[in-house]
Each structure stands twice: as structure tokens, then as C-alpha cells.
Amino acid sequence: MIHIKEPKSHGEVVHMDWVTAIPPSGDKSYNSCLVIGDRCSKTPIFLPCHKDDTAMDIALPLWSRAISHTGLFKNIVSVRDPKFTSALWTNLHRFLGTKLSYTTEYHP
């Protein structure tokens, strides 16, 4: 198990996970939510989405709503969801210089 050092600044380490199986809501009938938690400030960011969204569908609101507001994340810790392990996602973050770390299922 890898220990992640406590961050010293906002956006240094964020955790991402899904809240799924929620009743459809909003004008676009969102049925899941990507929850992003900043480990330093403990500030949450909630991005409404659809359960069947692709990595690209998630990358666009992540950029426009989260990264444009807080700045680039240095380390993203997330579950091994196919959206977070896809070639698009890993190449995007390699280009941005973001480190991707994955949790083991049932051991966040």
C-alpha cells in the first residue's frame, strides 16, 4: 500500500469518486455525480454527469468547472474506473503533468 504525503497546498492532491444510482435530476436528467475532494482544503467539487458518460464526457466539465477554477491538480487519486484508466484520460494527464494514483477496491 502506498502512503500519500499530506499536501501543503490547494490542488496538490485530490480524490475522485462516483456517486451513482441517484434519481435523474436537472434539465439533463443527470443520474450520477463525480465528487472531487481537495485533500488540503477539504473543499468538495460536485460535477453532475450521466452513468454512461465516456472519459471525454467527464474531461470537458472537469476542465471547465474544476480545473479552470482551482488550477491544475498535481496528483489525482481515484478508483480504477475504466473512465479513469482509459488512454484518453492517461494521455491527457501525462500531457498536463498530473500524477494519477489508483486505490484498491474497498481500500480507499
pLDDT of residue 2: 60
The CATH code of the domain that includes 21 is 3.30.420.10
Cα distance between residue 36 and residue 78, in whole Å: 9
Low-confidence ranges of the chain (pLDDT < 50): none
Residue 107 lies in a domain: no
3-state secondary structure of 88: helix
The three cell numbers of residue 38 are 481537495
Q: Which domain holds residue 92?
A: 13-102
Within 10 Å of residue 29's Cβ, how many Cβ atoms?
10
User: What is the pTM assigned to this prediction?
Assistant: 0.81
CB 34 within 8 A of CB 59: no
Number of domains in the chain: 1
For residue 87, tell me if it sits in a domain. yes
- For residue 93, the model assigns a pLDDT of 86
Residue ranges with strand state E in the chain: 13-19, 32-38, 44-49, 75-78, 99-102
Grid cell 481537495 in the structure block, residue: 38
Amino acid making up residue 76: I
pLDDT score recorded for residue 102 = 86
